[in-house]
Amino acid sequence: MSNKTNYEYLLSDLNSLKGVGIKTQNLLKKKNINNLFDLLWKLPKSYTDRSLSTKIENLKIGENQTVTIIPQKYNFPRIRNLPNRVLCRDETGEIDCVFFNSYEGYIKKILPLGKEITVSGKINHFRNKYQLTNPKYVSEDSSLVQKVHNKYSLTDGISEKVYNKIINQIITNLPSLAEWHSNYILNKFGHISWNTAIKELHKSENIGRYKDNFYQRLAFDEIFSTFLVNSEIRKKIRKVKKKSKSINIKNQNLTINKLEFTLTSDQKKALEEINEDLKSKTKMFRLLQGDVGSGKTIVALISALNTINSGFQVAFMAPTEILAKQHYNLAKKIFSKKIRIEIISGKSIYKEKKQILKNLESNKVDIIFGTHAVFQKKVQFYKLGLIIIDEQHKFGVNQRKKLSDKGGVDCDVLLMTATPIPRTLTMTIYGDMDISIIREKPKNRKPIKTYSKLENKIDDILKFISKEINKGNQIFWVCPLIEESKKLDHSSAIKKFEFLKKNYPNQVGLLHGKTDVDTKEKILNDFLKKKFQILVSTTIIEVGIDFPNANVIIIENANKFGLSQLHQLRGRVGRGEKDSICILMLKSNLSDNAKKRINILKKTNDGFIISEEDMKIRGFGDVLGFKQSGIKNFKLADPIHNSDLFLLAENEMRRIENSNESIARFKPLIKLYDRAEIINDIA
């Protein structure tokens, strides 16, 4: 390597490594390993100690052992499928080195007759003689074999020997990077350098030593890089000066007073925080976070009304057309007829859609609802002042910044999420935004009663459902899989649909991930209009659609879901005035963690408590499927076990921001850990 102090070496392509060809590169890329830096986080799971050499007479059958031998004689059978053998000796006995699928030339090269060779591998016994089949390590230089070899969770097609060679090559060429942390921070980790910490991380004797300074320092680097990126985004957004909006509180309160319910104190506080942002000359970039059914939408709509009354337009984006329609209908209900409201969707008639877009551009539309189609290039606004995005899009940091830019200088951004998450995660995922939290539920919301039932008691459940249907109520029935799986013992939505259809003819609908968009919309609309009583579905019903007449949800194989996901699913009911019930169907042989999850869910309806408990049980990476949603997943840091490091990172970030320190020294950290395009202009 020409310049060992250059962090860019670590971002080199895999083909810069010796002995790594196209095949190995492709195998690594399947595991999302695209450069040298990515390889550093594939940590050893265990190790094999090959450092001690054993004489043949002392070999132990079934164990990995290292032995120095002298090859005596080759036996290369001419019959296909028979193995090649090499008879070897030391002063205490004989052993056969056996090779399947290896060529004579290769065997003669690695085991030349009469030369002292060190070999290592698993020892077997065959026909009263020791045997070593396909030895893992073979070398004339005993020091290359006689050492501790780390064992990794390997990609198919890459041997332990090859993987160790790759990792050792990177560790050997590891650049000595200039330190980016202050003495105060370094003192917390015993002044260990990044370079030394990485080397310690890969030593076999350090496996599992999560509390040691090398591990803690690297976990902190990971957390702090995220805080740096979020801080830079906040700075960039705050630099944008916009026209402030004038909020007419009298008009706002006229609308609020006409509502059929009273706003909670949390809703009022959130509204005040949003109003302050709208009035300021700095662009709003705010997250409105609240539990299922906490009343975020009404707060967002009143914020939209205040923006419209200030002379601006509003765009409201929802994840599905049916949810966009639900928001649109609520706006029509609570806004005065003077407010010009429109909705566009994929189903909109071309002529109508064209006219709506024309009206939008000429300021004849105040607020437009829709899915992501609202932000297509051809959609032009006259004076866009606020973008509201419903949470299910789960935008990453870069996407949120681009969205904010698209709205223009005077456009504020409000993101809504019905995903209560622990503070450490909120700091990481939404650290680029200001946050308003609604914890309190509206007084008319009744808590959902949650029960567990063994699946062999399905007859009891069917009797209960029949009673509910006779009362005119509707039921969600959730199954984990679409079709039967031979590998997994889960219920199938299709199979359950067929079963229930026999018991309740013409009263059951089916919805799953393979249902096309148009059919899905029709099924949901039919259910909303009470054309059938039971909707059998996979988890795609999680989105926040209101079905006020559905007051029962049955979740099969409930132990297979995480706590937060069960809570989100449960939130599909309890949106009307009736008492609502959630039944968790279970198998009898539950794991301890599954029992914990079910008991927590039965005790509380508070999503924030549930998310904390979920993270403790499952680990942060899997809460609500964050791994699948593109939200940052740390390699070392853990928001539960490293909450002290998150707090330290938050305090250090605040110190740097308050002192207006340059973050130029952190450029390698940001480039390595976040590769953030958003702040590519760091000096």
- The C-alpha atoms of residue 555 and residue 582 are separated, in whole angstroms, by 8
Summarize pLDDT for 533-551 with one digit per residue, the tens: 999 988 777 555 678 888 9
Token couple for 435: 């946050």
So what's the pLDDT on residue 213?
A: 93
Residue 151, domain member (yes or no): no
pLDDT band of residue 128 (cuts 50, 70, 90) is: confident
Q: Can you tell me whether residue 146 is helix, strand or coil? A: coil
Residue 108, domain member (yes or no): yes
- 350/468 same-domain check: no
pLDDT band of residue 30 (cuts 50, 70, 90) is: confident
Using alpha carbons, select from 67, 74, 111 the residue that is nearest to residue 92. 67
- The C-alpha atoms of residue 319 and residue 90 are separated, in whole angstroms, by 72
Q: Mean pLDDT across the stretch 22-50?
A: 80
**Cβ atoms of 88 and 113 closer than 8 Å:** no
- The C-alpha atoms of residue 683 and residue 674 are separated, in whole angstroms, by 16
- Is pLDDT above 80 for 582? yes
- The C-alpha atoms of residue 551 and residue 448 are separated, in whole angstroms, by 9
Find the angle CA(389)-CA(447)-CA(473) to the nearest 5 degrees: 85
**Pick from 169-178, 397-406, 511-520, 649-658: least confident:** 397-406
So what's the pLDDT on residue 184?
A: 94
So what's the pLDDT on residue 544?
A: 59
Residue 316, C-beta contacts closer than 8 angstroms, at least 6 positions apart: 300, 304, 324, 327, 331, 367, 368, 369, 370, 374, 388, 390
Inter-axis angle of helices 265-279 and 296-309, to 10 degrees? 30
So what's the pLDDT on residue 620?
A: 46
- 114/199 same-domain check: no
- What is the DSSP-derived secondary structure letter of residue 623? G
- What is the DSSP-derived secondary structure letter of residue 243? P
- Is pLDDT above 90 for 301? yes
- The C-alpha atoms of residue 257 and residue 634 are separated, in whole angstroms, by 46
Residue 137, domain member (yes or no): yes
User: From its phi and psi, is residue 346 left (phi > 0), alpha (psi between -120 and 50) or beta?
Assistant: alpha
Find the angle CA(519)-CA(524)-CA(525) to the nearest 5 degrees: 95
Q: Mean pLDDT across the stretch 477-483?
A: 74
- Is pLDDT above 80 for 497? yes
- 310/383 same-domain check: yes
pLDDT band of residue 217 (cuts 50, 70, 90) is: very high
Summarize pLDDT for 378-418 with one digit per residue, the tens: 888 889 999 998 865 455 566 666 666 666 788 898 988 87
Residue 631, domain member (yes or no): no
Please provide the DSSP assignment of 555-567 as one string: ETTGGGS-HHHHH
Q: In this prediction, what percent of the chain has a pLDDT beyond 70?
A: 87
- What is the DSSP-derived secondary structure letter of residue 455? G
114 class by beta-carbon count within 10 Å (0-12 exposed, 13-18 middle, 19+ buried): exposed
- Is pLDDT above 50 for 629? no
Of 438, 461, 484, which one is at a domain's C-terminal end? 438
- 94/34 same-domain check: no
- Is pLDDT above 60 for 140? yes
pTM for this structure? 0.66
- 465/539 same-domain check: yes
So what's the pLDDT on residue 618?
A: 60
In this structure, how many other beta carbons lie within 10 angstroms of the beta carbon of residue 558?
A: 28
- 90/167 same-domain check: no
Residue 636, domain member (yes or no): no
Of 387, 410, 438, which one is at a domain's C-terminal end? 438
Kindly report the three-state secondary structure assignment for every residue of 81-129: CCCEEEEEEECCEEEEEEECCCCHHHHHHHCCCCCCEEEEEEEEEECCE
Q: Can you tell me whether residue 478 is helix, strand or coil? A: strand
Is the CA virtual torsion 27, 31, 33, 34 positive or negative? positive
Residue 376 or residue 453, greater confidence: 453
**211 is in which domain, residue-wise?**
178-239+642-683
Of 554, 580, 604, which one is at a domain's C-terminal end? 604
Q: Mean pLDDT across the stretch 249-267?
A: 89
- The C-alpha atoms of residue 664 and residue 683 are separated, in whole angstroms, by 6
487 class by beta-carbon count within 10 Å (0-12 exposed, 13-18 middle, 19+ buried): exposed
- 199/225 same-domain check: yes
Q: Mean pLDDT across the stretch 586-594?
A: 80
Residue 156, domain member (yes or no): no
The mean pLDDT of the chain is 83
Token couple for 423: 């503070």
So what's the pLDDT on residue 638?
A: 78
- The C-alpha atoms of residue 56 and residue 91 are separated, in whole angstroms, by 8
Using alpha carbons, select from 365, 366, 360 the residue that is nearest to residue 380. 360
Q: Which residues of 67-92 are buried (b: 16+ CB within 10 A; e: fewer)?
A: bbbebeeeeeeeeeeebbbbbbebee
Token couple for 172: 């050997």
- 36/63 same-domain check: no
| 563-564-565-567 Cα dihedral, nearest 10 degrees | 90
Total domain count, the chain:
5
Residue 52 or residue 70, greater confidence: 70
Token couple for 255: 């609308």
Most confident of 217-221, 449-453, 570-574: 217-221
- The C-alpha atoms of residue 34 and residue 331 are separated, in whole angstroms, by 47
- 378/258 same-domain check: yes
Which backbone phi and psi does 72 adopt, to 5 degrees? -110, -40
**Cβ atoms of 275 and 246 closer than 8 Å:** no
Most confident of 85-89, 417-421, 428-432, 587-591: 85-89
Summarize pLDDT for 309-359 with one digit per residue, the tens: 999 999 998 877 878 888 999 999 999 889 999 998 766 677 888 888 899
| Cα separation values, 515 from 348, 526, 536, Å | 20, 15, 12
Residue 614, domain member (yes or no): no
- The C-alpha atoms of residue 95 and residue 130 are separated, in whole angstroms, by 5
- Is pLDDT above 50 for 682? no
Q: Mean pLDDT across the stretch 369-377?
A: 80
- Is pLDDT above 80 for 2? no
Residue 622, domain member (yes or no): no
Residue 460, C-beta contacts closer than 8 angstroms, at least 6 positions apart: 453
- 597/676 same-domain check: no
So what's the pLDDT on residue 649?
A: 92
- 382/455 same-domain check: no
- The C-alpha atoms of residue 642 and residue 211 are separated, in whole angstroms, by 10
Using alpha carbons, select from 583, 588, 580, 574 the residue that is nearest to residue 556. 583
- 27/136 same-domain check: no
**Pick from 447-456, 474-483, 546-555: least confident:** 474-483
User: The domain that contains 569 carries what CATH number?
Assistant: 3.40.50.300
